[in-house]
Amino acid sequence: MLDDVDLLVCGAGPVGCVIAERAATVLGWKVLVVDRRAHIAGNCHDSPASNGVLVHNYGPHYFRTNDEDLLRYLSRFTEFTPANYEVRSHVRGELFPFPINLTTLEQFFGRPLDAEAAEQLLAARRVPITNPANSEEFVLSRVGRELYEAFYLNYTLKQWGVHPRDLDPQVCGRVPVRLDRDARYVGHRFQMMPKGGFTALFARMLRHRKIRTLLNCDFTEVRDLIRPRCATVYCGPVDEYFGNRLGKLPYRSLRFEFVAHQTEWRQPCVQINYPNDFDYTRSVEIKHVTGQRHPETVVSYETSASTGEPFYPVPHRESAALYARYRELAEAETARNSVYFCGRLAQYRYFNTDEVIQEALACFQTIRRRFAGAPASSSTT
């Protein structure tokens, strides 16, 4: 098989699995997927802890989307179960609904409010900044200094190891502020988890007679051995692909501590954020949203780190400038050697799970157009 490959895919995460599945199913290509880890599904990987409770090994992945076609595509490989993504923030020894909503404001300022009164309260506190240039300015201009310091400043410092004033506005800007009582973390139309978990979903995608998967296999071990007939899809860190020749891009890493409890539930909701206490940023009891029934539970405590496996690209000006130079190299490599760079690490961009799958489907379309002629109407048919 190794010398008989149409498409080589580096990375068995969501992008690699989707492109492998599409290439095998739609184009009939022989696909080899390699991953340096011992498992598939990338950072979406989930597995049972020793007490049998399903956990998200690399932090919570709350699947949500507004894209019905995407959901229909994924539904070929899994059923979904509705999920309630509710987060609270631990501030001044109390739990507050987060993102900030009307209930948070009432609790924080100690008086009943309606939407109009809340808007007045925020208007009196907002720092007038017309075009926020960074995350600090963005949050100050939205909710003022007290709420910024209580809910955002220290969480962001812990999470990124960088001050919010050195991060793009959209880092904190992606969290909404609501003047109603909606306590959901996000507002997407579909909020649901794959029944049986993400690993099972992606395993179904790879279960195809034209796809072979090689785990515990680093891309460097095969890149000079295998010459795919058509293309390569690379989902690893873009700087690593080029031997860090322009310098290393910064990544934020994470550490997880999983603690089992012999009670059915430990937390009132799936996630609690700790902006101002402890070294860890958040505790996650994923059982709240996986749909699993189990008499015991597991809570994971998540701590950010500057070293270790790369998780998050760090969105600030210098890293964007360095990535732009790597991107030029990547584009030349695509044109010259049909190597396609797709995903969070390869495109140095934070994607939610639905977004990264959309990227994968778009990347597959580009490949399909290049190798199969006529443009396709839909990547999921």
Q: How far is the CB of 183 from ligand UDP (least distance, A)?
A: 14
Is residue 305 within 8 Å of residue 256, measured between CB atoms? Answer: no
Of 78, 104, 191, 273, the one binding ligand UDP (CB under 6 A) is 273
Q: Which is nearer to ligand UDP, 52 or 161 (CB)?
A: 161
Q: Which residues contact 131 (CB under 8 A, 6 or more apart)?
A: none
Confirm or reject binding of residue 171 to ligand UDP (CB under 6 A).
yes
Which residue, 84 or 216, has its beta carbon nearer to ligand UDP?
84
Closer residue to ligand UDP, CB minimum distance, 231 or 269: 269
Rounded distance between C-alpha atoms, residue 299 and residue 265, angstroms: 9
Smallest gap from residue 83 Cβ to ligand UDP (A) = 15
The reply on whether position 376 binds ligand UDP by CB under 6 A is no
Question: Which CB sits closer to ligand UDP, 174 or 248?
Answer: 174
Q: Is 172 in the site for ligand UDP (CB under 6 A)?
A: yes
CB nearer ligand UDP, residue 41 or residue 167: 167
- Distance CA(177)–CA(139), nearest Å, equals 10
d(CA 278, CA 325): 38
CB neighbours (10 Å) of residue 130? 6
CB of 189 to ligand UDP, least distance (A): 18
Judged by CB under 6 A, does residue 251 bind ligand UDP? no
Contacts with ligand UDP in 212-241 (CB under 6 A)? Answer: none
Q: Before 99, cis peptide (omega within 30)? A: yes
List binders of ligand UDP among 141-170 (CB under 6 A): 151-152, 155-156, 159
199 binds ligand UDP (CB under 6 A): no
Secondary structure of the chain: what % helix, strand, coil (to 5)?
Answer: 35, 20, 45
Q: What residues numbered 80-109 form the site for ligand UDP, per CB under 6 A?
A: 89, 98
As a whole number of angstroms, the distance between CA 307 and CA 251 comes to 8
On the 0-12 / 13-18 / 19+ scale of CB atoms within 10 A, 3 is exposed
Annotate 35-101 with DSSP letters as a single string: -SSSSSSGGG-EEE-TTS-EEETTS----EES-HHHHHHHTTT--EEE---BEEEEETTEEEEES--
41: contact with ligand UDP by CB under 6 A:
no
Answer yes or no whether residue 299 interacts with ligand UDP by CB under 6 A: no
Least separation, in Å, of the C-beta of 129 and ligand UDP? Answer: 17
Identify the residue among 174, 227, 245, 370 touching ligand UDP (CB under 6 A).
Answer: 174
Task: Tell me how far, at minimum, the Cβ of 159 lies from ligand UDP, in Å.
Answer: 5
- Nearest CA to 280 among 309, 311, 247, 255? 255
Q: How far is the CB of 223 from ligand UDP (least distance, A)?
A: 31
* 13 forms part of the interface with ligand UDP (CB under 6 A): no
CB 256, min distance to ligand UDP, A: 13
3-state DSSP of 246-312: CCCCCEEEEEEEEEEECCCCCCCCCEEECCCCCCCCEEECCHHHHCCCCCCEEEEEEEEECCCCCCE
What DSSP character marks residue 379? T
Report which DSSP code applies to 376: P
Q: Which of 95, 175, 217, 329 binds ligand UDP (CB under 6 A)?
A: 175
Q: Which residues bind ligand UDP (CB under 6 A)?
A: 89, 98, 151-152, 155-156, 159, 171-172, 174-175, 273, 275
